[in-house]
Amino acid sequence: MTTQASPRERLLDAAGELFYLGGVNVGVETLCKAAGVSKKSMYQLFRSKDEVIAESLARRGPSYQALLLPADDDGRTPRERMLHVFERQDEVVADGKYLGCPLVSTAIELKNAEHPGSVVARRLKQELTDFFESEAAAAGARDPELLAQQLTIVFDGASARAVVRAQSLDGIGVTTAAALLDAAGVAA
Amino acid sequence: MTTQASPRERLLDAAGELFYLGGVNVGVETLCKAAGVSKKSMYQLFRSKDEVIAESLARRGPSYQALLLPADDDGRTPRERMLHVFERQDEVVADGKYLGCPLVSTAIELKNAEHPGSVVARRLKQELTDFFESEAAAAGARDPELLAQQLTIVFDGASARAVVRAQSLDGIGVTTAAALLDAAGVAA
């Protein structure tokens, strides 16, 4: 016997996938159909579509971070661990079908910083910046907070490049991050 | 007597504004109402809404570039001229109501690199990269093409930061661009 996903889980998983592929404007009918859940059930489980947007993004958070961040205590230097994020980004983009960072896309599409989905996007993006800051401090960077913000900017700019140009990054994110690590005194 | 804008111009101007504020999913009815043009007239002027998306973005191109780029031959050094773009970005974001780079937003929302709107976004973004590359070459940068791509990444990443965090940039784009200019051998 396999464990069946609950209607709530099916809705959130379908929403995470559909909103990434089609944008947050994908309709409730399409979403419910994909999840195999009635609209009535959806509105019993969630107050609004806005809540579905926010919770589906939050649900994607851990796997999205796992996709990009190195394992704890993997024995590599902080510099290598920070560059790992950009190497992973390069690979994800090269796999094709890349439609941008789901956090940035959600914020851009919602166009409302107070929307619960934008709040989740901001929190999850901050987790990436926090990772960089902690590693930058461990590496003895001159200004870990600044470096972490700069690396986040490079990550999001490389992501935008991949979408706008619709081609692989070919290491430009890694190269750019490395230049900023050098500038911050984080030696190779 | 004032010169009246043509229905075509009214549609493109309304579309540029509405798509920026509400995303490319803003409907044709809303658009026609805002432009004061009937749907029938719209479909006589444009083959499709997709064409309106592409042409309205193309129409915004020159003013968007003028907003960010320095005047030709303004007497400043190439480095200063490159940093001007980031100073302007800082100001535009600080003015409030910033919803992201319209080129990147269009590409992210369309999720289809072959859409005519994505093609226009790519072309206009390339104009920014071309500006950086030409100035980087004039400045004697080590690798003008790479530096131009890096500065474009910083621009788009700073833009994403402004949207996701919904706060001003406070010079982080300028600081990051300057670090990469330093690294490329473009002295202050």
Q: How far is CA B121 from CA A175, B13, B29, B114, in A?
A: 25, 17, 24, 11
| Residue A95 burial (CB count, 10 A) | 9
- The distance of A51 to chain B (nearest Cα, Å) reads 18
- State mean pLDDT over B166-177: 97
Interface pTM (ipTM) of the complex? Answer: 0.96
Q: Please tell me if residue B100 touches chain A, with a CB cutoff of 8 Å.
A: yes
Nearest alpha-carbon partner for B184 in B125, B138, B131: B138
- State mean pLDDT over B121-145: 98
- The distance of A1 to chain B (nearest Cα, Å) reads 39
Does A21 sit within 8 Å of B111, measured CB to CB? Answer: yes
Tell me which of B57, B110, B156, B167 to substitute to probe the interface with A (most A C-beta atoms closer than 10 Å).
B156
What does pLDDT average to over chain B? Answer: 96
What does pLDDT average to over chain A? Answer: 96
Q: If DSSP states are collapsed to H, E and C, what string results for A47-112?
A: CCHHHHHHHHHHHHHHHHHHHHCCCCCCCCCHHHHHHHHHHHHHHHHHCCCCCCCHHHHHHHHHCC
Token pair of B141, please? 């940068």
Checking if the pLDDT of B3 tops 70, the result is no
Closest alpha carbon within chain A to B182: A183
Does B163 sit within 8 Å of A153, measured CB to CB? Answer: no
Does B175 sit within 8 Å of A150, measured CB to CB? Answer: yes
Q: Please tell me if residue B150 touches chain A, with a CB cutoff of 8 Å.
A: yes
Residues of A with Cβ-Cβ distance to B175 under 8 angstroms? 146, 150
Q: How far is CA A150 from CA B38, B106, B174, in A?
A: 48, 24, 11
Does B146 sit within 8 Å of A153, measured CB to CB? Answer: no
Q: What is the pLDDT, as a whole number, of residue A29?
A: 97
Q: How far apart, in whole angstroms, are the C-alpha atoms of residue B63 and residue A177? A: 31
Question: Per the confidence metrics, is the pTM higher than 0.90?
Answer: yes
Confidence of residue A187 (pLDDT cuts 50, 70, 90): confident
Give the DSSP H/E element, type plus range, for residue A175: helix A172-183
Q: What is the pLDDT, as a whole number, of residue A48?
A: 97
